[in-house]
């Protein structure tokens, strides 16, 4: 169930912001897209799921399980989102509806994609809240996003993304807005869930230290182009491009555990 991206291009108002990006995510692989702000990494991820902003045009090829997604009608893409491919955004407010309870939002994906009855979906919402280590899950599912801390909101967003056990998870800088301690907890939890479910992962970040903990292969972007693609171990020990060397210098030492898994 691989994801194959080939010569992906994205243009906004006639300006090319993603230019010929190519990479493959094999079954069960953990791959990272890394680059500075404006490198095109988030737009690349949004193009995969047909979630580009209004006025943006994608071309090239994005194949999921051999099926071309570029040009696929939004109704068909909507069937994939949350079912076969999950996504977690940097800011959970992007994913969470402020006027719906956490439980209702987790249950909604189960009801839509698995056609589960309301009561069964509500029970699943509690299970998913417990799975992402939200405290007192029976009660927290009745709360609204503004009643949760930032870390709890991100856990709820992850529960939503993984409720239907997708084959691929795209995580777009899911811990950047959190403090270092909570960030480490979320990363450990996310990696554990990915491993437990055997899913593939595309992890987007600007932090090479974070990438070292969660991915095995990295694709480095600069100005919308791939400048380097290698194992994370090679990116850390033998960076070839200047942008990768800069990312290595900026790596967050408190999160980088060189002796751990790369």
Tokens matching residue 62: 């994005």
Q: What is the spatial order of strands in the sheet that 56-64 belongs to?
A: 15-25, 3-12, 56-64, 67-68
Position 47 in a domain: yes
Residue-wise pLDDT tens digits, 163-184:
999 999 999 998 877 777 888 8
CB 84 within 8 A of CB 160: no
Sort 67 into a burial class: Cβ within 10 Å, 0-12 / 13-18 / 19+.
exposed
Tokens matching residue 33: 């897209």
32: which strand partners? 203, 218
Position 61 in a domain: yes
Model-level pTM greater than 0.85? Answer: yes
Number of domains comprising the chain: 1
Sort 132 into a burial class: Cβ within 10 Å, 0-12 / 13-18 / 19+.
buried
Residue-wise pLDDT tens digits, 218-238:
999 999 999 999 999 999 999
Spell out the residues 6+ positions from residue 57 whose beta carbon is closer than 8 angstroms to its own.
10, 11, 12
Residue-wise pLDDT tens digits, 118-144:
999 999 999 999 999 999 999 999 999
Position 224 in a domain: no
pLDDT at residue number 183: 83
| Cα gap 262→259, rounded to integer Å | 8
Position 70 in a domain: yes
In the Cβ-directed half-sphere of 34, how many Cα atoms lie within 13 Å?
Answer: 34
Position 138 in a domain: yes
pLDDT at residue number 250: 83
Position 254 in a domain: no
Which contiguous run of DSSP H or E holds residue 231? Answer: strand 225-231
Residue-wise pLDDT tens digits, 9-44:
999 998 999 999 999 999 999 999 999 999 999 999
| Cα gap 166→80, rounded to integer Å | 9
Position 188 in a domain: yes
The domain that holds 91 is classified in CATH as 3.40.50.300
pLDDT at residue number 252: 52
The domain of 91 spans 3-212+229-242
CB 88 within 8 A of CB 157: yes
Position 222 in a domain: no
| Cα gap 217→33, rounded to integer Å | 9
The CA angle 248-254-260, to the nearest 5 degrees, is 80
The average pLDDT across 238-261 equals 71
């Amino acid at each position: 169930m691989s994801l194959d991206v080939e010569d992906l291009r994205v243009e906004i108002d006639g300006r090319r912001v993603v230019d010929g990006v190519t990479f493959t995510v094999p079954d069960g692989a953990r791959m990272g897209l890394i680059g500075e702000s404006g490198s095109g990494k988030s737009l690349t991820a949004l193009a995969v799921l047909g979630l580009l902003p209004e006025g943006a045009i994608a071309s090239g090829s994005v194949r999921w399980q051999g099926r071309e997604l570029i040009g696929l009608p939004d109704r068909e893409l909507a069937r994939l989102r949350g079912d076969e491919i999950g996504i977690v955004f940097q800011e959970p407010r992007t994913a969470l509806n402020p006027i719906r309870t956490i439980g209702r939002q987790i249950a909604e994906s189960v009801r839509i994609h698995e056609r589960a009855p309301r009561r069964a979906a509500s029970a699943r919402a509690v299970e998913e809240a417990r799975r992402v280590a939200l405290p007192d899950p029976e009660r927290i599912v009745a709360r609204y996003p503004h009643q949760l801390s930032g870390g709890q909101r991100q856990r709820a967003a992850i529960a939503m993304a993984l409720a239907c056990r997708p084959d691929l998870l795209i995580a777009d800088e899911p811990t950047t807005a959190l403090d270092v301690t909570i960030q480490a907890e979320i990363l450990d939890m996310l990696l554990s869930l990915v491993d437990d479910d055997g899913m593939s992962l595309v992890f987007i970040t600007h932090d090479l230290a974070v990438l070292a903990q969660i991915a095995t292969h990295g694709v480095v972007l600069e100005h919308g182009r791939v400048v380097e693609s290698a194992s994370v171990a090679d990116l850390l020990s033998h960076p070839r491009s200047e942008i990768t060397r800069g990312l290595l210098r900026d790596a967050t030492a408190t999160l980088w555990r060189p002796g751990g898994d790369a």
